[in-house]
Amino acid sequence: MSSSDAPLSVDILRPSAMGPIADVDPRDTPGFDGGKSAGKAIRKARGEVLADLQERLYAHGRSGDPRSVLLVLQGMDTSGKGGIVRHVMGMVDPQGVSHASFGKPTDEELAHHFLWRIRKKVPAAGQIGVFDRSHYEDVLVVRVHELVPHDVWASRYDTITEFERELVRTETTVVKVFLHISHDEQRDRLARRLDRPDKYWKYNPGDVDERRYWSAYQEAYQAVLDRTDIDEAPWFVVPADHKWFARLAVTEILIEALSHLDLRWPAPDLDVDVEKKRLAES
């Protein structure tokens, strides 16, 4: 299976094609006709394409090529960010993936510019970086709960697009995914955590309190999509009530991003025949 055998076109997941998120059904599977078992099987097959592209990116990184890829994952609690890391990034070599998770900022982080902790985790050459939450929290939870004055968070949209343009200029491909789940699906997922002793640890009572701010969060996400969806660092709106669809879609988004990098195997910076002789004599 080559990178051109895409089971769905990721372009239709761009915010401009999807329209306002209030009109997007989180149970949809845009561009994909199959069901769960087909979707899972295709994701696993496409995992081999992704793993091959990832290894090429890694090889380039080791050969002096500065390029990297950054996947930003955002979504409400239980939207499946962790599952993406496990089931999508879990299909490629761990050596080529750098994972960063951004929770509530520490005192030290709060004492710095909001991008300070983010810049420290930007992927190195040859790596696929995955941000489980990101700098977008500074215009999401911060906006919803007014953790800083209006003028401060309102100025951050432009700061964020400038930052991302800078990343792209310095050879990091940036793709951003909003995992879109429904209010009902979130309740079901939280309830399942309370039904199973092996899932209790994932349950946080604060998540129920946050559900009261659902519509404010949806507005904040819409503002993010309206203000920060730039072609250099595109957003994708991924309906996520079906976990299998979200994982398939993110697999395709990564394959598409990596395919644009034209990752042929790096040429050897040595005389292969000379080295073969030297090696045989060693």
- Using CB under 8 A as the criterion, which residues of the chain lie in contact with a second copy when the complex forms? 59-60, 62-63, 82, 85-86, 89-90, 93-95, 97, 99, 101, 132, 187, 190-191, 194, 197-198, 200-203, 205, 208, 211-212, 265-268, 270, 272, 275-276, 278-280, 282
> For a second copy, which is the closer residue by CB, 20 or 90?
90
Instruction: Report the nearest approach of a second copy to the CB of residue 267 (Å).
Output: 7
> For a second copy, which is the closer residue by CB, 51 or 115?
51
> For a second copy, which is the closer residue by CB, 175 or 225?
175
Rg for the chain (alpha carbons), in Å? 20
Which residue in 188, 176, 227 sits closest to 74, CA to CA? Answer: 176
Cα(160)–Cα(258) distance, integer angstroms = 23
Which residue in 78, 28, 71, 73 sits closest to 214, CA to CA? Answer: 78
For residues 73 and 177, is the Cβ–Cβ distance under 8 A? yes
What the block records as the tokens of 144 is 């919803």
DSSP annotation of 241: S
Neighbour tally for 194: CB within 10 Å: 11
> For a second copy, which is the closer residue by CB, 153 or 217?
217
Instruction: Report the nearest approach of a second copy to the CB of residue 61 (Å).
Output: 9
Cα(151)–Cα(100) distance, integer angstroms = 28
> For a second copy, which is the closer residue by CB, 166 or 271?
271
Instruction: Report the nearest approach of a second copy to the CB of residue 144 (Å).
Output: 16
Instruction: Report the nearest approach of a second copy to the CB of residue 78 (Å).
Output: 11
> For a second copy, which is the closer residue by CB, 104 or 212?
212
Cα(215)–Cα(198) distance, integer angstroms = 31
Instruction: Report the nearest approach of a second copy to the CB of residue 218 (Å).
Output: 15
Instruction: Report the nearest approach of a second copy to the CB of residue 103 (Å).
Output: 11
- At residue 112's C-alpha, the angle toward residues 115 and 165, to 5°, is 20
